[in-house]
Each structure stands twice: as structure tokens, then as C-alpha cells.
Amino acid sequence: MPLSCREPERHVRVKQRSSVLNMLRRLDKIRFRGHKRDDFLDLAESPNASDTECSDEIPLKVPRTSPRDSEELRDPAGPGTLIMATGVQDFNRTEFDRLNEIKGHLEIALLEKHFLQEELRKLREETNAEMLRQELDRERQRRMELEQKVQEVLKARTEEQTAQQPPKGQAQASNGAERRSQGLSSRLQKWFYERFGEYVEDFRFQPEENTVETEEPLSARRLTENMRRLKRGAKPVTNFVKNLSALSDWYSVYTSAIAFTVYMNAVWHGWAIPLFLFLAILRLSLNYLIARGWRIQWSIVPEVSEPMEPPKEDLTVSEKFQLVLDVAQKAQNLFGKMADILEKIKNLFMWVQPEITQKLYVALWAAFLASCFFPYRLVGLTVGLYAGIKFFLIDFIFKRCPRLRAKYDTPYIIWRSLPTDPQLKERSSAAVSRRLQTTSSRSYVPSAPAGLGKEEDAGRFHSTKKGNFHEIFNLTENERPLAVCENGWRCCLINRDRKMPTDYIRNGVLYVTENYLCFESSKSGSSKRNKVIKLVDITDIQKYKVLSVLPGSGMGIAVSTPSTQKPLVFGAMVHRDEAFETILSQYIKITSAAASGGDS
């Protein structure tokens, strides 16, 4: 009887113990999910903890063993054995330790709750969850309103369809007719699209695509390659022009005679256009044979093969700079020629020179009236005969006799006399300067001496920006700049005998007279800064390169005189070659005249 009563109590205690172990496992999960216990503050410092949560003096009910339990735990062999007493005490102690451990886990869980709340609050402040929630509510309301409107529209449509729906018999008949018509129309559309759909798509308008071409960076290799490509591409055109000029110049007498006879015969019989078409077909046939590997050379002027330099892989800085200068010079000359041609044509049609445009105007009226009153066969015959005689005979005579060409070749005279825009500007500036010169001569010099000619009178009053020429350089009145350097050449004088920087380099203008080489300083001051050199006193003159690092032959002229230890250098001259040729020719002229005078 006592044994049967003890067994259920032991079963209850085992259940309590298993529940405690489950609680410990859950608390371990909570514990290891957060931070370590050492990282948290003391529970008493937590602001959200209550007094009961923070105090360690939590009343705990220590399980006490009743006398009945002690009797149950006694050994049946003898009452109150020491082994059973120590077992009861160990059990009570383990229960107390477990309760303390549970208490610690609860403290950790409360701290984790506190810190998680702080993190949640920070996240809400950072993400503005309230604003997002409000926007979400607004969107939901809008969605509901739109759904209601859509439902209303669908209801209205269904009501209209039910009101307009005909009876079933009529509806079936109409549906059958519609299906037949739709089937026939779909077949027709399909057949039409299969036959002509591709052509219809070609005529469909599409928006233009604005493609921006990417510009390549500047490269010396690319620059030389493009120049060679341009030269190769223009070679057929230049060869064609050379052959035409050779025909006109009678370079090969037999070829020019045959061409003249064939052309005049074709024009007389009205076969000029078929002749040109046949020549084009013949040229294409020859090109086809050449492309197939045949060696055919059909040219009046023998072609000269120019040696092709292999492109250099690595260029130095000076070579690249010189290459850019050469290409820029070629481009400048080419663009200048094209601009001259276009400007002359524009000025011809814009009545810039009325006497020239008047001739073109009369010629156009004559051609118009001739085309109206004469038959086209006669007009074509006249134009063809005139073109043949002009190309083969008249141009040959004019090229051999330039004076006749300058007097009687009307197209050549008109083309040469047509001005370009820079020439018009020079003429206008020259006219303004003449007016100013005449007014100044009238105001300062009322009457010129009777013995002076026009040239001496003009030289008498030639002036620079600072005054009269002869007064600035303390020369005689008959000394004036040559026509080539009437406005002078801008340059800088480098006097290497001087050590002061202000005297070492001077900017100014260089003039050449009949007997002197004059340099006018650009700085305002006395005439001591100006330099006058007699051409007779010059011992040596040569081209000079101031900076040897830069490519090219330089932009300076070195002049040696007995009065200077080192040559005077006129540097930074854009027109250095022109100035050098002028100074050298005038120097040779003066020295030869002085030598001939001394011999006599």
C-alpha cells in the first residue's frame, strides 16, 4: 500500500523536472540569439525595468520536504538513514541553483528585449515607416476607388449590351453573315499582305535617327595615313586633268590630231553625246581588264611613280611637330585655292564688279534668245564647234603667246580680274589710307616742290604709326621702305652684346630701304631704341634658328656688322624667307653698285 502511493508522486516530480529542462533549453536559445551577457549593463541601470525585475531579492519559495515525503524517501530497511537525507538535501540544492539560473536567463531576456526595442525605434526613425505607411494607405484607397469605378463602367456596359441585344434568331443570322464577311475580308487582307506587304512596309514613315559621329583624337600616324589616302583618291582626277591639258597642248601631235578630227566629225554629224558615252564605256572596260590583272597603260602623259615612304612606327616629338606643320601648310594652301574659286564665283554673281558681271549677263541673254529662236541642232552644232576650236587651237595659241592671251582671251581675263574677299578688303583699306594721306598732305604740306615726281612725292610723306619715316630714323627724305615691306615685318631684335634683359630683346618692325636696314621698336620712347644699319656695312647675312629644339629651319635672320661682336638676330619673323630674299637682293645690288663705282 505505501509503495503504490509513492509511485504517482514520483511520476509528478519527473514531469516537473522535464518541464524545467524544457524551459532551460528555450532560455538558452534566447540567450545565444542575442549578445553576450557581459556586454549588457546591469539590470538595475535599465530604465524600462521594474523594481521587481531589477531587484535580486525576489521571493522564492524553497520547496520544503514534508514529514510524509521524508518518510516516503526513507529506506525501507531502516528509518532515517543518512543516505536518504543527503539525497534530499542535494535535490533541494539543485532545484535552488536551477531557479537562480532561470532568474539570470530572465534578466538577459529582459535586457535583450530592451535593446531590441531601442534598435526598432532607431530603424523607425531612419526609414520613416509612418510616412510609408500613410502613403501605402493612400494607394490602397485609390486602388479601391479605381476598382469601384471599373465595376461601375462594366455594369453600365453590360446593361447597354443587354438592352441592344436583338432576338436570338436575328442574332444568329447576323452572326453568320458577319463571320462570312470577316472570313472573306481576312482572306483578302492576308493575300494582299503576302503580295504587297513588303512594298507597303518600305513606304512606312520612320523618325530620323540623329547619329552623332565620334571624332577621332589627333594622331600622327592617322594623319599621314589620311594624307596618303587623299593623294591616292585624287590621283585619277589629276591624271584625267593632265591628259586633257596634254591634248590641248599637243603634247603628242598624233594623238591630239586624231582626237581633234574625231571630235569635230562627231559634232558635225550630231554624234557628240554618243561619242562621250562610248568613251566612258571604253574607260570602264579598260578598268575591268586592269582589275583582272591586265597591264594596260592608256595615258598621253607618262605616269611618274613616286617613291612611297614606309610609315614610321615611332616618331619623335620634333618629327611629329614637323609633320603637323607640313600637313597644316598643305591644308592651308588647298583650302586657300578652294576659297579663292568659291569667292570669285560668288563675286561674279553678286555684281561686285559690275563691268565683269555685265558681260556674263549679256552672254546669258544671247544664249536664251538663241535657244528660243534657233533649232537645238544648230545651237548644239555651234557650241560643239566653238568648244573644239577653243580647246584644241585657241588655247594652244594662247598658252604659247601669253601677251595675246592677256589681251584677247575673254574667259581668262574675266577670271583673273575677279577679286576675292581678301583682295576686296585690301582695296578698301588702301583707298581709305589714300584718302587719309591726301588729307594729311593737304593739311601739312600745301604744295610740293616742282622738281619732284610722283614717286618722290609719295616717298617724301611715307609715315609709320609714330610719324614720318625719315624723321623717326634720322634719314634723308628720299629714303623710304621698299614696296615689298611697305608695312614692315614684325619681329624681335636680339642683341647678344647687351646683358640687360630690357636691351637684350626688343619687339618691333623691320624695314628695308634702298640703302638701310631699319628696325623700329614698338616701345614708346626716344629714337635710341631704334636701330639703323647700312647695307654696305653688313659683312654677313644668313638664316638663323634661335631655338635648336624646335623643328624646321627657324624663323630668324642673323646680320653681322663690324660694330657688333656678335651678330644681330631678327627673330620670330613669320615671313622670314621673304624678308631674307629682299634684304639679300638689295644688299647684292648695293654692293655691286658700290664695286662698279669704285672700279670706274
> Same domain, yes or no, for 501 and 392?
no
The per-residue pLDDT for 281 is 94
> Same domain, yes or no, for 396 and 497?
no
Q: Residue 373: pLDDT band by 50, 70, 90 thresholds? A: very high
Helix (H, G, I), strand (E, B) or coil at 463: strand
Is the pLDDT at 589 greater than 80? The verdict is yes
Predicted structure pTM score: 0.45
Residue 424's alpha-carbon distances to 359, 430, 442, 485, in angstroms, are 20, 10, 27, 20
* Residue 57, amino acid: E
Helix (H, G, I), strand (E, B) or coil at 509: strand
Q: Residue 591: pLDDT band by 50, 70, 90 thresholds? A: confident
Distance of CA 445 to the CA centre of its chain: 59
> Does a structural domain hold residue 161?
no
Q: Residue 438: pLDDT band by 50, 70, 90 thresholds? A: low
| Cell numbers for 206 | 520612320
Is the pLDDT at 536 greater than 70? The verdict is yes
Nearest C-alpha neighbor of 110 from the set 45, 66, 166, 162: 45
For 300-331, the pLDDT digits (tens) are 766 655 555 555 566 676 677 777 777 777 88
- Percentages of the chain per state (helix, strand, coil), in multiples of 5: 65, 5, 30
Lowest mean pLDDT among 225-239, 342-356, 452-466: 452-466
167 against 182, higher pLDDT: 182
> Does a structural domain hold residue 348?
yes
Domain that holds residue 107: 96-127
Is the pLDDT at 598 greater than 80? The verdict is no
Nearest C-alpha neighbor of 40 from the set 103, 102, 107: 107
The per-residue pLDDT for 268 is 94
The per-residue pLDDT for 507 is 86
The per-residue pLDDT for 13 is 46
- Distant-in-sequence, close-in-space partners of 62: CB < 8 Å, separation ≥ 6: 92, 96
- Pairing mode, strands 463-464 and 467-468: antiparallel
CB contact burial 27-65 (16+ within 10 A = b; e otherwise): beeebeebeeeeebeebeebeebeeeeeeeeeeeeeeee
When pLDDT is averaged across residues 32-46 and rounded to a whole number, the result is 44
Answer yes or no: are the C-beta atoms of 556 and 546 closer than 8 Å.
Answer: yes
Look at the chain and report how many structural domains it folds into. 3
Give the chain's radius of gyration (CA, Å): 56
Distance (Å, rounded) from C-alpha 166 to C-alpha 161? 10
User: Mean pLDDT, the chain, as a whole number?
Assistant: 75
Last residue of a domain, one of 357, 384, 417: 417
Distance (Å, rounded) from C-alpha 339 to C-alpha 543? 32
> Same domain, yes or no, for 513 and 584?
yes
Q: Percent of the chain beyond pLDDT 90?
A: 17
> Same domain, yes or no, for 398 and 490?
no
When pLDDT is averaged across residues 444-472 and rounded to a whole number, the result is 50
> Does a structural domain hold residue 548?
yes
| Cell numbers for 34 | 542575442
> Does a structural domain hold residue 259?
yes
> Same domain, yes or no, for 273 and 378?
yes
When pLDDT is averaged across residues 450-455 and rounded to a whole number, the result is 39
In DSSP notation, 99-145 reads HHHHHHHHHHHHHHHHHHHHHHHHHHHHHTHHHHHHHHHHHHHHHHH
Place of cell 600616324: 221
> Does a structural domain hold residue 379?
yes
Lowest mean pLDDT among 303-317, 376-390, 439-453: 439-453
The per-residue pLDDT for 446 is 43
Q: Residue 344: pLDDT band by 50, 70, 90 thresholds? A: very high
Last residue of a domain, one of 108, 127, 146: 127
Is the pLDDT at 76 greater than 70? The verdict is no
Is the pLDDT at 387 greater than 50? The verdict is yes
Answer yes or no: are the C-beta atoms of 395 and 248 closer than 8 Å.
Answer: yes
Residues in the chain: 600
When pLDDT is averaged across residues 507-512 and rounded to a whole number, the result is 90
Neighbours of 515 (CB within 10 A): 14
461 against 403, higher pLDDT: 403
Highest mean pLDDT among 96-100, 209-213, 380-384: 380-384
- CATH code of the domain containing 474: 2.30.29.30
* Residue 71, amino acid: E
> Does a structural domain hold residue 493?
yes
Nearest C-alpha neighbor of 475 from the set 517, 529, 523: 517
Is the pLDDT at 232 greater than 80? The verdict is yes
Q: Residue 60: pLDDT band by 50, 70, 90 thresholds? A: very low
Q: Residue 339: pLDDT band by 50, 70, 90 thresholds? A: very high
Is the pLDDT at 462 greater than 80? The verdict is no
Nearest C-alpha neighbor of 300 from the set 367, 371, 249: 249
Answer yes or no: are the C-beta atoms of 52 and 62 closer than 8 Å.
Answer: no
The per-residue pLDDT for 551 is 61
The per-residue pLDDT for 19 is 60
Answer yes or no: are the C-beta atoms of 238 and 303 closer than 8 Å.
Answer: no
Is the pLDDT at 168 greater than 70? The verdict is no
Last residue of a domain, one of 106, 127, 148: 127
| Cell numbers for 315 | 616618331
Q: Percent of the chain beyond pLDDT 70?
A: 68
> Same domain, yes or no, for 345 and 408?
yes
Is the pLDDT at 49 greater than 60? The verdict is no
Lowest mean pLDDT among 83-87, 409-413, 435-439: 83-87
When pLDDT is averaged across residues 461-490 and rounded to a whole number, the result is 77
Nearest C-alpha neighbor of 528 from the set 519, 516, 517: 519
> Same domain, yes or no, for 505 and 402?
no
Place of cell 588702301: 430
> Same domain, yes or no, for 270 and 360?
yes
In DSSP notation, 524-578 reads -S-GGG-EEEESTT--EEEEE-S-TTSSSS-SEEEEE-TT-SS-EEEE--TTHHH
When pLDDT is averaged across residues 14-23 and rounded to a whole number, the result is 57
> Same domain, yes or no, for 402 and 477?
no
> Same domain, yes or no, for 364 and 235?
yes
> Does a structural domain hold residue 446?
no
Q: Residue 24: pLDDT band by 50, 70, 90 thresholds? A: low
CB contact burial 459-468 (16+ within 10 A = b; e otherwise): bbbbebeeee
For 543-559, the pLDDT digits (tens) are 888 776 666 677 889 99
271 against 17, higher pLDDT: 271
Task: Please state the three-class secondary structure of 242-285 as a single string.
Answer: HHHHHHHHCCCHHHHHHHHHHHHHHHHCCCHHHHHHHHHHHHHH
> Does a structural domain hold residue 200?
no
